[in-house]
A and B are shown apart, each in its own frame.
Chain A
């Protein structure tokens, strides 16, 4: 019984971690290459989910809706980059934080005007049931799909960044932008493309998580902060760091919420345990971040060297 619970929660952690990775990968490259802090990254996640809900409704197919939402969000992201964010690269972090904070407010209100406060994105019917992973270990099919997609995208991204020419340019930009510029890399174009790819990954995460969570205005903000924690732990600019950080955060958060209350119950009086367990569990990832940063202020895999 307890072993099954552990397996189930570990899979949940893996699933959550992989979705966090999709968000964090784009974010960490934007930080790494342009030294630009973009709070509006979560807004792209939200837009992706809303767009997917509309496209799924229009086409009647979950897959088609998802595949339409990705390029649409990427396009919006690139438009945003070319029209506004580009002017912020030369500014200090404070200006970037405030301008993109303003963008969150603006995009939230615009979304509310277009779609209303929330939208529906139902789970595809064929995947709504459980699958027996092992005899006696049922697991929701849809969550398995998320894990599979997340793993495939993670591997593709990893190969793209570490093995291809484009990936080499991206890594060059992340580790030393001036030097990459001097070597003739078209950073401007590269960055617009990276931004578009990051937006598409956001949309993928938003659309995949939408049937499990809710599609609503403001959904991007909480997960954005988790993505920050991920890239701070992993090291800014490092895709490998983002993957490790995302899995760490996903597993620690999920396992903590599931087992800390039980663990506390074994050692403390029920009254203390029921108060302290959830409290510690909800801040476990921040404690993890604090510990990592205390020993490695540059994160686990710093990209700049």
Chain B
């Protein structure tokens, strides 16, 4: 048996890894594809809701629930991507944001599934074995994270990955060489949406709870921070970013710093001030993220 304290950290590690899956999927769009999607939480949220609704309706097998979450999220990504990818630049950023907001309001109005109060699940879905225990769940999430990173690694090395990279570097040139740029970008967007849907289903299963805030645009922003923090376009960027950001958050809220608490008694309530300042510093001074610090610069600075 594990101690309660240890159990907490097993559960915490699962949460970090679920966010790592979501951030890694965003990294495929953002870092590999160079598409600045500001609505990734929509796909995480879609997966979370599909997974939860199935459990709430009595379909407790994860073999049905998770693939369904992946499929519906992929479909959502396909529809949103097909419209959004017709635009570029600032338009693309804002239209993805607006679509995510639209999904946010849609789930908010689903009164049958909790509306803005969210949906509490009676249990976690199960695979061939029960996933109610934190340890079993941990290993399942770990395997899925490994699979996700492996998928990203293979994608990056594949022909598909090379084309996506070429499009990111110079879209006009890739188009001129004869690649169907739009279809490649859409495929990239849909794959990322599907993986985000899996992360969403896991997130809902982990907390046995889902509410519309998983689709809130601040969530999209947080996922982007994770990717930037870890390293845009680096294989481990999403994983590193999720671990560092959630770790920091946990440290700030659960481990009071004596001298700071004396200086400002309520500082833990204003943790976002620290998060914002750290983010700003990273954007201004370390645009390559943490992974970039460990790697020799590939390109000379401009």
* Chain A interfacial positions (CB closer than 8 Å to B): 31, 35, 37, 87, 91, 93-95, 97-99, 101-106, 108-110, 112-113, 221, 225, 228-229, 231-232, 236, 275, 278-279, 282-283, 286-287, 289-290, 293-294, 297-299
The reply to whether B273 and A106 contact each other, CB–CB distance below 8 Å, is: yes
In the assembled complex, 24 residue pairs joining A and B whose CB atoms fall closer than 8 Å, in A order, are A35-B90, A37-B93, A37-B94, A93-B93, A105-B272, A106-B272, A109-B272, A109-B273, A109-B276, A110-B273, A113-B270, A228-B98, A232-B91, A232-B94, A232-B98, A275-B109, A283-B102, A283-B105, A286-B105, A289-B95, A293-B83, A297-B86, A297-B87, A299-B91
Contacts of A109 in B (CB 8 A): 270, 272-273, 276
Residues of chain B in range 15-31 having any CB-CB distance to chain A below 8 Å: 30
**CB-CB < 8 A to A282: which residues of B?**
105-106, 108-109
Report the interface size for chain B: residues with CB under 8 A from the other chain: 42
Q: In the complex, what residues of A have CB within 8 A of residue B90's CB? A: 31, 35, 37, 93, 236
Chain B residues near A283 (CB-CB < 8 A): 102, 105-106
Cα separation A225 to B232 with both chains bound (whole Å): 25
Instruction: Decide if A279 touches B109 in the complex (CB within 8 Å).
Output: yes
Bound-state CA distance A254–B161 (Å) is 45
- Residue numbers in A under 8 Å from B284 (CB-CB): 87, 99
Q: How far is the CA of A98 from the CA of B221 in the complex (A)?
A: 8
From known contacts A94-B30, A97-B36, A101-B225, infer whether A279 and B93 are also in contact, taking CB-CB under 8 Å: no
A287 CA / B94 CA spacing, docked (Å): 14
* Chain B, Cβ-Cβ closest to A104: B276
Contact of B91 with A236 in the complex, beta carbons under 8 Å:
yes
Question: Does any Cβ of A come within 8 Å of B43's Cβ?
Answer: no
B30, B98, B218, B276: the one within 8 Å of A286 (CB): B98
A93-B90, A105-B276, A108-B272 known; 6 other A-B pairs, CB under 8 Å?
A: A87-B284, A98-B224, A225-B97, A282-B106, A286-B105, A297-B91
Q: Give the docked Cα–Cα distance between A15 and B25 (Å).
A: 41
**Chain B residues closer than 8 Å to A290, beta-carbon distance:** 83, 95, 99
Rounded to whole angstroms, the CA-CA distance of A95 and B287 in the bound complex is 8
Is B276's CB under 8 angstroms from A106's CB? yes
B280 on interface, CB distance cutoff 8 Å: yes
Q: Does B154 contact A (CB under 8 A)?
A: no
Residues of chain A lying within 8 A (CB to CB) of residue B177: none
- With A99-B280, A113-B270, A282-B105 as contacts: A232 and B95 at CB distance below 8 Å: yes
Whether the Cβ atoms of A94 and B280 lie closer than 8 Å is no
Nearest 6 A/B pairs, CB to CB: A105-B276, A286-B102, A109-B273, A102-B279, A106-B276, A279-B109
A contact face: mostly helix, strand, loop, or mixed: helix
B61 within 8 A of A: no
Q: Which A residue sits closest to B278, measured CB to CB?
A: A102
B280 touches A294 (CB 8 A): no
B33 to chain A, nearest CB (A): 12
A64–B118 CA distance with the chains assembled, in angstroms: 44
Q: Mark B95-114, 1 if CB is under 8 A from A, else 0.
A: 10111011001101111100
A289 surroundings in chain B (CB, below 8 A) = 95, 98
Known: A93-B36, A94-B228, A283-B102. Is A106-B95 also a contact (CB below 8 A)? no
A94–B36 CB distance below 8 A:
yes
Instruction: Let me know if A98 and B110 touch, CB within 8 A.
Output: no
A135 to B192: give the CA distance in the assembly, Å. Answer: 58
B261 to chain A, nearest CB (A): 16
- Distance of A104 Cα from B218 Cα, bound (Å): 10
Most buried by B among A37, A99, A102, A282: A102
Chain B CB within 10 Å, residue with most, of A95, A101, A110, A232: A101
With the chains together, A218 CA to B25 CA distance in Å? 28
Q: Which residues of chain B come closer than 8 Å to A105, judged between CB atoms?
A: 272-273, 275-276, 279
Q: Mark B65-107, 1 if CB is under 8 A from A, else 0.
A: 0000000000000000001001101110111011101100110
Task: Collect the chain A residues with CB atoms within 8 Å of residue B275's CB.
Answer: 102, 105
Contact flag A98-B276 (CB < 8 Å), given A279-B110, A289-B98: no
Residues of A within 8 A of B36 (CB): 93-94, 97
Closest A residue to B30 by beta carbon equals: A94
Instruction: Convert B267-289 into 0s and 1s, putting 1 for each residue whose CB lies closer than 8 angstroms to a CB of A.
Output: 00010110111011001100100
Chain A: minimal CB distance from B98 (Å): 5
Contact between chains at A102 and B97 (CB < 8 Å):
no
Are B106 and A101 within 8 A (Cβ)?
no
In chain A, what residue has the closest Cβ to B280?
Answer: A102
Q: How far is the CB of B171 from chain A (nearest CB, A)?
A: 14
Among candidates B108, B221, B287, residue contacting A101 with C-beta atoms closer than 8 Å: B221
Tell me the nearest residue of chain A to B217, going by C-beta: A225
Q: Which residue of B lies closest to A222 (CB)?
A: B101
- B38 at interface, CB cutoff 8 A: yes
| B contact residues around A293 at 8 Å (CB) | 83, 86-87, 91, 95
Instruction: Give the distance to chain A from B272, nearest Cβ to Cβ, in Å.
Output: 5
Contact A225 B109 (CB under 8 A): no
Residues of B within 8 A of A35 (CB): 89-90
Nearest to A109 among chain B residues (CB) is B273
A106 to B276, CA, bound (A): 5
**A residues less than 8 Å from B287 (CB atoms):** 91, 95
CA distance A236 to B272 in the complex (A): 31
Q: Report Cα–Cα, A278/B218, bound state, in Å.
A: 24
